[in-house]
């Protein structure tokens, strides 16, 4: 039995929250690869991981979302895939003291930034090669599992999963991102939610779910429509509401309106409909995760003895 499936005995498992939005709040310049801070500001990254562990996260994800060769090249990052990913894993482990020995370290992988036909010229073989390089480094650095996230094209999600299954002997979860339409929830490429997630489970994903784009309200609506038909472990990671531009004193920043208390209510609803893994995405932070943990504790306190 893997550490991940063992952890799921005490579900819901609590993930961490946003990373990129916290780094921008800390002064990351626009256009700079957030992953470069693994090397340039390691104390900041370790501190964020530690804050999530203190908040109650059972799994923290490495700051490697865009740590593939194409995205690093696009952002003009001069560090290699191996340097970025190994440093990201080490910082997560550095944050995990004996107090948090139960906490798993997940190697986080996002989209390559390349497009498949008809919008682009990438092919599945190219994507698998790019993902294989990254996940091989994450695995050899010692992560407990791989989390593939924010996939908007089912074909790319499959390529990432196939790369992990080909190169690593650890579990991989896959989260895709969907929008609400008049016909239901679909990716921007037209992939329907239920069929997409079920196909990834059939490919060998250890768990599937949804992250980014949707607020807690939208995420719950999606979950209520599909949870009973998803045969495997189910993951939800909403944004902290719809992003808004806030201009003050000549500067503009992105803000997210949903509070930690909103995440408490969200987590309580998730528990009632059988969501297995709960976390946050853009705009969420340690205080949001702390409220998810409080919702779990509240559930446990009210269970009959």
Contact 146, 64 (CB under 8 A): no
Residue 82 burial (CB count, 10 A): 15
CATH number at residue 240: 3.20.20.330
Please write the tens of the pLDDT for every residue from 75-124: 999 999 999 999 999 999 999 988 899 999 999 999 999 999 999 999 99
Cα separation, 281 vs 292, whole angstroms: 13
Give the span between the Cα atoms of 300 and 297, in whole angstroms: 5
Distances (CA, A) of 124 to 97, 117, 162: 40, 10, 10
Distance from C-alpha of 246 to C-alpha of 253, rounded to nearest angstrom: 5
User: What is the pLDDT confidence band of residue 209, given thresholds at 50, 70 and 90?
Assistant: very high
Instruction: Give the mean pLDDT of 155-169.
Output: 97
CA distance 195 to 163: 21
Residue 42 host element (H or E): helix 42-55
The DSSP annotation for 182-222 comes to TTEEE-TT--BHHHHHHHHHHHT-SEEEEESSS-HHHHHHH
* Average pLDDT of the segment spanning 180-197: 97
Bridge partners, 207 (sequence order): 173
pLDDT recorded at residue 249: 63
- The pLDDT, as a whole number, for residue 99 is 85
Given this model, what pLDDT does residue 2 score? Answer: 82
| pLDDT surpasses 90 at 302 | no
Average pLDDT score over the chain: 95
Q: Which tens digit of pLDDT belongs to each residue from 215-253?
A: 999 999 999 999 999 999 999 999 999 998 877 766 777
User: What residue numbers bound the domain in which 185 lies?
Assistant: 3-301
Domain count, the chain: 1
Give pLDDT, residue 1: 53
Give exposure, 70-81, as e/b (b: 16+ Cβ within 10 Å).
bbbeebebebeb
* CB 131, CB 159: distance < 8 Å: yes
């Amino acid at each position: 039995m893997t550490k991940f499936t063992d952890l799921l005995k005490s579900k819901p498992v609590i993930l961490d929250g946003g990373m990129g939005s916290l780094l921008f709040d800390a002064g990351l310049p626009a256009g700079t690869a957030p992953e470069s801070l693994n090397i340039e500001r390691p104390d900041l990254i370790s501190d964020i991981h530690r804050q999530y562990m203190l908040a109650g996260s059972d799994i923290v994800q490495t700051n490697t979302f865009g740590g593939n060769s194409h995205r690093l090249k696009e952002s003009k990052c001069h560090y290699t895939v191996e340097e970025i990913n190994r440093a990201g894993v080490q910082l997560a482990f550095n944050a995990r003291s004996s107090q948090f020995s139960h906490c798993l370290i997940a190697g986080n992988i996002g989209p390559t930034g390349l497009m498949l036909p008809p919008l682009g010229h990438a092919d599945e073989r190219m994507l698998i090669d790019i993902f294989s390089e990254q996940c091989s480094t994450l695995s050899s650095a010692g992560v407990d599992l791989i989390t593939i996230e924010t996939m908007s094209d089912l074909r790319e999600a499959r390529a990432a999963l196939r790369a992990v299954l080909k190169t690593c002997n650890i579990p991989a979860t896959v989260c895709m991102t969907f929008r609400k339409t008049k016909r239901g929830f679909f990716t921007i490429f037209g992939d329907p939610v239920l069929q997409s997630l079920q196909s990834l489970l059939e490919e060998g994903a250890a768990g599937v779910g949804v992250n980014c784009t949707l607020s807690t309200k939208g995420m719950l609506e999606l979950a209520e429509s599909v949870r009973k038909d998803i045969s495997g472990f189910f993951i939800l990671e909403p944004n902290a509401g719809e992003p808004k531009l806030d201009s003050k004193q000549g500067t503009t920043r992105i803000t997210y309106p949903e509070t930690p208390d909103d995440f408490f209510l969200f987590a309580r609803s998730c528990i009632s409909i059988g969501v297995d893994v709960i976390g946050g995405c853009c705009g969420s932070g340690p205080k949001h995760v702390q409220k998810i943990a409080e919702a779990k504790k509240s559930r446990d306190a009210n269970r009959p003895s």
